[in-house]
Amino acid sequence: MKQLLALLFSTGVLIVAGCSNVYSQEDGYRMAVINQGFPVPKNAYEVKPEDCTDEISKAAKYKLQGIGDQDGNPPAHYLETIEEWGWTELVDERRGTIHFYEKNGKIMSLNIHQDVFDVFEMTSNPES
């Protein structure tokens, strides 16, 4: 009986660990809640977003382990996927961990930190 209980417990732990929200390029991507054309990792889950400002019309915040390192550097595959979805990075507008992308006149910003990231739809050009 103890062996059966130990086996069930071990299986339960493996299932819970296997379903944790950790970045993996194999899991794929889905559309962001605030913009149907901007990708976010499928296993990222939403948390309360930052407040919108005059520059930001929509905001979404996601938690996902492994999305950014200690310096806020995102996985290269995620950045490649954003460009594959038709977004062009506005490299000259980058501000530290904040990346800006443009597609069909829309500007999106992506702000990545360790295990959390924000996606913003901008109301105007990101120039200061």
Per residue in 83-117, pLDDT (tens digit) is: 999 999 999 999 988 999 999 999 999 999 999 99
Domain ranges of the chain: 2-122
Sequence-ordered strand ranges (E) for the chain: 29-31, 39-41, 45-47, 56-63, 88-89, 98-103, 106-113, 116-122
CA-closest candidate to residue 60, choices 73, 50, 70: 50
Which of the 8 DSSP states describes residue 91? G
Chain segment 8-40, per-residue pLDDT in tens: 444 444 444 444 587 776 678 999 989 989 999
Cross-strand bridge partners of residue 120: 59, 109
Q: What is the pTM of this model?
A: 0.75
Angle at 46 between CA 9 and CA 36, to 5 degrees: 125
Sign for the pseudo-dihedral over CA of 84, 71, 128, 54: positive
Q: How far apart are CA 52 and CA 57, in angstroms?
A: 6
